[in-house]
Amino acid sequence: MAKPLALTSGEPAGIGPDITIKAWLRRDELKLPEFYLLGDRDYLSQRAKALGLAVPFADVRPEDAPAAFAEVLPVVATGHAATARPGHPDDSSAEAALASIRQAVADVASGRAAAVVTNPIAKSVLYRAGFRHPGHTEFLAELAASGGHTPQPVMMLWSPALAVVPVTIHLSLREAIAQLSSELIVTTARIVVADLKARFGLACPRLAISGLNPHAGEDGSLGVEDQTIVAPAVEILRGEGIEARGPLPADTMFHAAARNTYDCAICMYHDQALIPIKTLAFEDAVNVTLGLPFIRTSPDHGTAFDIAGTGRANPSSLIAALRLAARMAAAQPA
């Protein structure tokens, strides 16, 4: 029997419990991969009742989750109870969320789970509790550190229609431009290519590298960064045998015919990458962290406190994240 996926609880007061329950209820219809949720069974049971859903839960060990999955929603206890009401995080929220992430990573590292799938967290809640990372990705990189080396994580947003990677992520536009370098573009692209080969089964990934400025700088008349930063990075990648094109004008990279010419778009800053994929695949895009020694996927949305516990949360992105994690795990060499 295949190893299960380790699904974190995320922010308990958010929609993580809602979409987890809804996804499990569709397990047969959608032929979902087996997973277990790391969290508080009593809390989940209360949320199911609040949603008016009859869901059986059972505390299990990770290795017992696949056998239990057909009949119950398997829960692996973290030892941290959650008490927050839907939409109202409290003092239990931060440690409950962080404990589930730590344990999910430990379960994959020990071979008890195939991949980590994370429900959304509320960074503001974690920051008030002393969390010192910009977000999930950086925390996962720290958990993956070994021998004094911390891997460089790369954020990919994936959907069947489009995959994008922003070279700079959660920075102001001014700071993103200041931090952009040929070295950062090359390092990011190498990680993307390695994971597309190892975890997506692509023998020769094709990359489209966007320019930074409008019209990729218009030969320097709209900014020199595309000539001095982006173009040299593309040449380095091509010299390494990587199929990379660019710098390309970002405004013509994302129509259907253009998307057919590449496997992943490497973009220079956050919105340049995320606007097109959220336009094309808002309901089912998946956040994938590349560059880690384990697989991690996540729904491409936040905690949605305003609809938590109302029954209105859509599980589509979580379902896509579970499916993609299972696909990536199956593609890895044994």
Cβ atoms of 299 and 321 within 8 Å: the answer is yes
Spell 297-308 as b/e; 16+ CB within 10 A means b.
bbbbbebbbebb
DSSP string, 106-142: HHHHTTS-SEEE-----HHHHHHTT--SSSHHHHHHH
Is 255 annotated among the ligand-binding residues? no
The H or E element spanning position 319 is helix 316-331
Is 88 annotated among the ligand-binding residues? no
Is 296 annotated among the ligand-binding residues? yes
φ and ψ of 296, to 5 deg: -140, 125
Is 321 a residue whose pLDDT tops 90?
yes
Task: Write out pLDDT tens, residues 152-171.
Answer: 999 999 999 999 999 998 88
Is 270 annotated among the ligand-binding residues? yes
**Stretch 29-58: mean pLDDT:** 96
Q: Within 13 Å of residue 168, how many CA atoms lie on the same side as its CB?
A: 18
Task: Write out pLDDT tens, residues 114-151.
Answer: 999 999 998 888 888 888 877 788 889 888 887 778 89
What whole-number distance in Å separates Cα of residue 286 and Cα of residue 277? Answer: 10
**Stretch 243-249: mean pLDDT:** 97
- Per DSSP, the three-state class of 74 is strand
Cβ atoms of 295 and 104 within 8 Å: the answer is no
What whole-number distance in Å separates Cα of residue 28 and Cα of residue 41? Answer: 22
What whole-number distance in Å separates Cα of residue 78 and Cα of residue 137? Answer: 21
Task: Write out pLDDT tens, residues 67-80.
Answer: 999 999 999 999 99
Is 215 annotated among the ligand-binding residues? yes
Domains of the chain, start order: 1-152+293-334 (3.40.718.10), 161-280 (3.40.718.10)
Is 66 a residue whose pLDDT tops 80?
yes
- Which residue from 202, 170, 195 is spatially nearest to 325, judged by alpha carbons? 195
pLDDT at residue 170 in the model: 83
Q: Which residues contact 52 (CB under 8 A, 6 or more apart)?
A: 311
